Amino acid sequence: MDITAIERLIRLFVAPAALAICPMIGIAVLPNPAKLSPMLAGMAQIFVSMNLILALVSSAGLAWVVWRCWILWKWESGQRDGGCYSCAGPMHHKNGRYGPYSVCLMCGSKREGHH
């Protein structure tokens, strides 16, 4: 595996994996207030809804990981035709200090304007 492939995997999967894993850590770390104190038993309802929200965020992160895996598979099999001149990868559009530009998700090359 070359360095470019490692950079590609980092670029594609760090943010979605963090979104999928961090809420799970939050669910595991959050204490159950009903077990800590009788006075905090009323607050348990808030933590139950917080766990539900964290589970939904984690599910969204997992769906994002699956989407990126699908994009990578389509690109590696040659079925995805993106806007990158270097590798035909999909482009991510951003607005920067000097105007809009596009960054390739596969090779990291940048182009001025949205392509």
User: What are residue 35's phi and psi, to 5 degrees?
Assistant: -85, -20
**Number of Cβ atoms within 10 Å of the Cβ of 77:** 8
What pLDDT does 32 receive?
62
Q: Where are the alpha helices (DSSP H) in the chain?
A: 3-29, 33-36, 44-76
* Same domain, yes or no: 68 and 94: no
| Overall number of domains in the chain | 2
Poorest-pLDDT segment among 16-20, 24-28, 41-45, 65-69: 41-45
Enter the tokens of residue 27: 């669910």
Q: Is 104 exposed, middle or buried (0-12, 13-18, 19+ CB in 10 A)?
A: buried
Instruction: Give the model confidence (pLDDT) of 23-60 as tens digits.
Output: 888 777 766 665 666 666 666 666 667 778 888 999 99
Element (H, E) at 107: none
* Same domain, yes or no: 41 and 75: yes
Domain that holds residue 88: 81-115
pLDDT band with cut points at 50, 70 and 90 for residue 63: very high
